[in-house]
Structure 1
Amino acid sequence: MKNNQKKAWLFLLPAIISVTIFSIWPIIRAFIISFQGGPLICLNFNGIENYKYIFADTDFWNSLTNTAIYAFMTVPIALAIALALAWFVFSKIRHQSFFEAMFFMPYVTSTIATGIVFRYIFNGKYGLLDFVLKMLHLPAPDWLDDPSMSLISLIIFGIWSSLAFNIVILIGALRNIDPNYYVLADMYGANESEKFWRITIPQLFPTLAFLLTVNLIGAFKVYTQVFALFNGSAGQGNSAITSVFYIYNKFQVANTPGVAMAATVCLFLFILFITCLQRKLMKRVNS
């Protein structure tokens, strides 16, 4: 109703102001600073020099490559494991609420705390993982100090840390599936595999699309896991450096906010492109 538009805008005004101040303005400000040089208290316009710098910086390209590898490895593997665990708990376990609480505990636990635990697990001298591998007479690599293993260790940690949220959301989505679908499937003699692929997966598709989008965006912004796992660094020789870690170093350590904001703008555009591409693909699959 036109008579209620003014009242509606009045109620929306606090939210609009908050989104503008804390979301839209920082994006605009970052774009402006990306064309400026010098320290944060004395910025001056320098054109596209910051973009020239990051495009010629091997650390920037390594961080972008590591971030892409991390995202495209962690997200699908974590979703597949979470789906399998959620389906198992939903279909085979009676006391589901207990297991939901157990699965959700890592999500509410500090990433720094879990990173410290994983740092001890991955330790090459007294780590639990290498101890188990040696007992099984398998190669026990140096997960944290070997540059070739740093990204793999980060991916393993990322998969584990993203399972909790995915499992709880998927269990909730499984509960919302109409049980009559399975009753009809049993009447027509469908087996468990057919019910899973022909009923469960199509019904979970909107939830999977949501989780895929959220997890991809979160994976491209990974920073805390790197900081926690490698004790404030990005692995030996920056072997596990990610885009956000690169931005942090340029802004906080090197005191070059213009370079950091230029990398931020590039990361923003990259995430926007991947997200739009992913949504188009999901729409085609859904149709």
Structure 2
Amino acid sequence: MKQNQKKAWLFLAPILILVTVFSIWPIIRAFIMSFKGGPIINMQYNGLANYQYIFSDPDFWHAIANTAIYAFVTVPVALIISIALAWFVFSKIKHKTFFETMFFMPYVTSTIAIGIVFRYILNGKYGLLDYLLRAIHLPAPDWLDDPSMSIISLIMFGVWASLAFNIVILMGALRNIDPNYYVLADMYGASEMEKFWRITLPQLVPTITFLLTVNLIGAFKIYTQVYALFNGAAGQANSAMTAVFYIYNKFQVVNTPGVAMAATVVLFFIILLATFIQRKITKKVNS
């Protein structure tokens, strides 16, 4: 009601201040800095020079291409596997809580720690994965030191890291489906696959849409996984360079904050566009 609006704004004020200071202002500040050059303590206006630099920089486009490949492969693959595993646990396993806890543990584990484990698994000389591949007489590539395998290794790591959050959210969504739907389906002799395609999947669409959006945004901002998997580098010959790693390199290593902020602004609009297109497509599919 109108008389309660002042009280509502009063209660919202603390969180609005925090969002403004830590979310909105940094975006505005990055946009302003993208038009400046020089060291961060003495930046001077230089117009569109930073944008001209990144658009003519092959490393920037390489980073954007790697990020796009990672995002558009990792997100759908991880989501498909998550749906399959969540449905299997929900429909076939009795002790669901135990498995939910096991699935969620990687989500609360440090990405750096998981990256160290993956470095041992994917090591070309003594890694577990190559040992198993050799045991069944399959090619055993050098996952980490071969530039052509860097993105594939990163995608494998990203898919595994995405499963925990996805499965827990999907399990919660599966619990909210009215069991009467399945009772009626059983009465009419529906098979397990028919129940999944005609009942379960349509009921999961809002959750899947949410996960697609969150995972896509997260995939475009990937940095920690690269740092952890390749021990602080971006793979051999920068073969696993991503957009955020490029931004970090320009800001922290090369000390060109203006260029880094220009790349940040471009990445922001790419994420905005990709999310908008994804939501439009999802909405059309849902309808």
TM-score bracket for this pair, using the shorter chain length:
over 0.9
CA RMSD of aligned residues (A): 0.5
Report the equivalent of 1:174. Answer: 174
TM-superposition CA deviations, 1:70-124 (whole Å, max 9, x none): 0000000000001100001000000111101100000000000000000011111
Q: Does 1:160 align with 2:160?
A: yes
Q: Distance in 2 between matches of 1:117 and 1:255?
A: 32
**Residue in 1 aligned with 2:5?**
5
Task: Give, as a single letter, the amino acid of the residue that structure 2 aligns with 1:209.
Answer: T
Are 1:240 and 2:232 counterparts?
Answer: no
Determine if the alignment matches structure 1 residue 58 to structure 2 residue 43: no
Shift of 1:28: 0.2
Match of 2:40 in 1: 40
CA deviations over 1:218-245 (Å, ceiling 9, x no partner): 0000000000000000001100000000
Q: Which residue of 2 aligns with 1:252?
A: 252
Counterpart of 2:222 in 1: which secondary structure? coil
Aligned-pair CA distance for 1:211: 0.3
1:269 maps to: 269
TM-score (norm 2): 0.99
Q: 1:255 aligns to what SS in structure 2?
A: coil
| Match of residue 184 from structure 2 | 184
- Deviating 4+ runs (over 3 angstroms): none
Percent of counterpart pairs with the same letter? 77
Compute the displacement of 1:2 (Å): 1.3
Deviation, structure 1 residue 139: 0.1
Distance 1:3 1:105 in 2: 47
Name the SS for the 1:143 alignment partner. coil
Contiguous gaps of at least 5 residues in structure 1: none
Q: Distance in 2 between matches of 1:193 and 1:90?
A: 14
1:229-272 deviation digits (Å, cap 9, x = unpaired) = 00000001100000000000000000000000000000000000
AA partner of residue 93 (structure 2): I
Provide the C-alpha distance between the structure 1 equivalents of 2:93 and 2:4, rounded to a whole number of angstroms.
50
Q: How does 1:105-144 map to 2 (within 5 A)?
A: 105-144=105-144
AA partner of residue 3 (structure 1): Q
Give the whole-Å Cα distance in 2 for the aligned partners of 1:93 and 1:5. Answer: 49
Give the aligned residue type for 1:112: I
Q: Which residue number corresponds to residue 283 of structure 1?
A: 283
**How many residues were matched structurally?**
287
* 2:199 partner SS: helix
Instruction: Look up the match of 2:149.
Output: 149
Rounded Cα–Cα distance in structure 2 between residues aligned with 1:284 and 1:133:
42
